């Protein structure tokens, strides 16, 4: 019998953010050194703010966990302010007081990116797999940068970005040329996490959420593969993002 992932539908983005931050807190309270992945993009910013507040007021210790980044552009050096890592540093890592030596970044500047991606995958496995992966979803159904065409058993690897993702990323690039490739944690790697939380808000995400949850699972909508682990996956959606379910 097929089972659906847990669906939590909340009123708005604020509630979505609070609930996602609560799950991060729950996981880190049980295991302060847990390996965790957190997404980039506009969706997690409210969750980050809740985590920063909790860290600053001493109710959450973010100094001990291991943060595995989910994706990064290829062909940009890590000191480039437009990288996903630099964005995460400004938006979460520094304000939350997460020590940089606990942050694992994708080895995009390695001379052999394929081999380096494989080693990153192995580092996640060596950490005992992710205790928690919080994910956003792109309008094309990507999770991390697993673009359409990504299979359920895909591992951490280099991927060509779709034009849609390149256009979306342009908003963060301040006029500079957006790279056409990225390194992303694979769908299969994500599916090995103990717990996976996908967050989405707004009517703009309603159609892709419907496709991810209601259409047959397929590589065309990589987020649909999350239904392979229904007992470990929770979608936290606001009413607008859940509007077409
Ligand atoms: P967004 O991006 O949070 O800015 O909508 C999500 C994604 O592309 O994964």
94 Cβ contact list (under 8 Å, min separation 6): none
- Confidence class for position 75, pLDDT limits 50, 70, 90: confident
Whether residue 211 lies inside any domain: the answer is yes
Nearest CA owner, ligand 1 atom 2: 41
Q: Which of 42, 41, 232 has the alpha carbon at shortest distance from 144?
A: 41
Nearest CA owner, ligand 1 atom 7: 138
Give the number of the atom of ligand 1 that is nearest the alpha carbon of residue 165. 8
In angstroms, what is the span from residue 42 Cα to ligand 1's centroid? 6
From the DSSP assignment, how many helices (H) and strands (E) are in the chain?
Answer: 8, 10
Residue 149, SS3 per DSSP: coil
Residue 215 gets which letter from DSSP? S
Angle between helices 45-56 and 13-30 (to 10 degrees): 50
Q: Which of 198, 177, 179, 176 has the alpha carbon at shortest distance from 187?
A: 198
Q: How many folded domains does the chain comprise?
A: 1
Whether residue 208 lies inside any domain: the answer is yes
Residue 225 gets which letter from DSSP? G
Question: Between β-strands 196-200 and 181-184, what pairing exists: parallel, antiparallel or unpaired?
Answer: unpaired
Whether residue 22 lies inside any domain: the answer is yes
Residues designated catalytic: 71, 140, 142, 147
Whether residue 183 lies inside any domain: the answer is yes
Whether residue 153 lies inside any domain: the answer is yes
Whether residue 28 lies inside any domain: the answer is yes
Q: Which of 121, 114, 125, 190 has the alpha carbon at shortest distance from 151?
A: 190
* Residue from 13, 40, 150, 171 to probe ligand 1 pocket by mutation (most atoms less than 8 Å from CB): 40
pLDDT reading at 1 higher than 60: no
Span 70-87, average pLDDT: 89
Mean pLDDT of the chain: 96
In angstroms, what is the span from residue 41 Cα to ligand 1's centroid? 5
Question: Between β-strands 71-73 and 181-184, what pairing exists: parallel, antiparallel or unpaired?
Answer: antiparallel
Whether residue 40 lies inside any domain: the answer is yes
Whether residue 244 lies inside any domain: the answer is no
| Better-predicted residue by pLDDT, 81 or 53 | 53
In angstroms, what is the span from residue 146 Cα to ligand 1's centroid? 12
In angstroms, what is the span from residue 1 Cα to ligand 1's centroid? 32
pLDDT per residue over 98-113, tens digit each?
Answer: 999 999 999 999 999 9
* Residue from 138, 141, 206 to probe ligand 1 pocket by mutation (most atoms less than 8 Å from CB): 138
- Confidence class for position 83, pLDDT limits 50, 70, 90: very high
pLDDT per residue over 197-210, tens digit each?
Answer: 999 999 999 999 99
Ligand 1: which residues within 6 Å by Cβ? 41-43, 136-138, 142
Give 98: exposed, middle or buried? Use CB within 10 Å, 0-12, 13-18, 19+: buried
Residue 212 gets which letter from DSSP? H
Question: Which residue segment(s) compose the domain that 84 sits in?
Answer: 6-238
pLDDT reading at 2 higher than 70: no
Q: What is the CATH number of the domain that holds 106?
A: 3.40.50.1360
């Amino acid at each position: 019998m097929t089972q659906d992932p847990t669906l939590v539908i909340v009123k708005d983005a604020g509630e979505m953010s609070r609930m996602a931050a609560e799950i991060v807190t729950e996981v880190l309270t049980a295991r302060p050194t847990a390996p965790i992945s957190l997404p980039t993009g506009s969706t997690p910013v409210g969750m980050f703010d809740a985590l920063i507040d909790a860290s600053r007021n001493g109710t959450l210790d973010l100094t001990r966990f291991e943060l595995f980044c989910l994706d990064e552009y290829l062909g940009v050096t890590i000191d480039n302010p437009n990288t996903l890592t630099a964005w995460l540093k400004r938006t979460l890592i520094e304000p939350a007081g997460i020590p940089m030596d606990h942050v694992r970044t994708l080895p995009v500047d390695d001379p052999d990116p394929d081999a380096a991606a494989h080693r990153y995958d192995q580092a996640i496995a060596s950490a005992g797999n992710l205790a928690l992966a919080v994910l956003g979803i792109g309008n094309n159904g990507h999770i991390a940068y697993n673009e359409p065409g990504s299979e359920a058993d895909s591992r951490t690897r280099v991927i060509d970005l779709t034009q849609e993702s390149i256009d979306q990323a342009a908003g963060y690039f301040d006029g500079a040329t957006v790279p056409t490739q990225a390194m992303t944690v694979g769908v299969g790697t994500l599916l090995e996490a103990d717990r996976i939380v996908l967050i989405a808000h707004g009517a703009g995400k309603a159609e892709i959420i419907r496709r991810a949850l209601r259409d047959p699972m397929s590589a065309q909508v990589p987020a649909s593969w999350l239904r392979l682990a229904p007992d470990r996956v929770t979608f936290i959606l606001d009413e607008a993002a859940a509007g077409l379910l």
